[in-house]
Amino acid sequence: MKTLIPVTLAATDDDNSRQWRSFFDLTFKKFNLVSHVDGSVAVAAMLNDPEWLHRLTPAYSGLYSTVSKEIWSDVYKPNAFAYAAWMAITGQFLDNSLQRAIYAQQEFHNLFQGDMVIGEYCGRLKRLANTLYDCGTVVSDPTLIINTLRGLRKVGGGVMVESTPMA
């Protein structure tokens, strides 16, 4: 599973949760495991289906093997199925989505380049836009561009553009 999900989800890293969920979404689709984690199939109805149960183990163990010890301690429940594990793990990051969205939106609109190099500044804006997307608030490309330009450091009445010396 580590080759399919090369990320360990940590409780202190919101950026990491987006990447972790993306790898799992692709893996669940690739191996036709979506019904094991999306709640569309009642687990009780599938307990007599050996094929479904056989495919449950990789989904369940994969979830627990790719999270930090702190997350595992918070969400592990013996004899739970993959759906319960998926909901508990993703809930750690999505339960406070309104609060996260408010803080991210405020930071997004108040961010200025300051002492950051252009790559750091643009990367920070993109990560904030991704956080907002994860919380259900889409930042359009025009909004991202306008906000990026608005926050650039100004020098002598114009926008300062950093260049790299040519070799």
Q: What is the pLDDT of residues 104-161, one digit of tens each?
A: 899 999 999 999 999 999 999 998 898 888 777 889 999 999 999 999 987 655 555 5
Half-sphere exposure of 8 (CA within 13 A, CB side): 8
Write phi, then psi, for 30 (nearest 5 degrees): -60, -40
Answer whether 0.95 is exceeded by the pTM: no
Highest mean pLDDT among 19-28, 57-66, 157-166: 19-28
| Residue 17 CB partners (closer than 8 Å, separation 6+) | 9, 90, 93, 134
| Residue 32 CB partners (closer than 8 Å, separation 6+) | 55
The model's confidence at residue 95, banded by pLDDT at 50, 70 and 90, is low
Residue type, 85: A
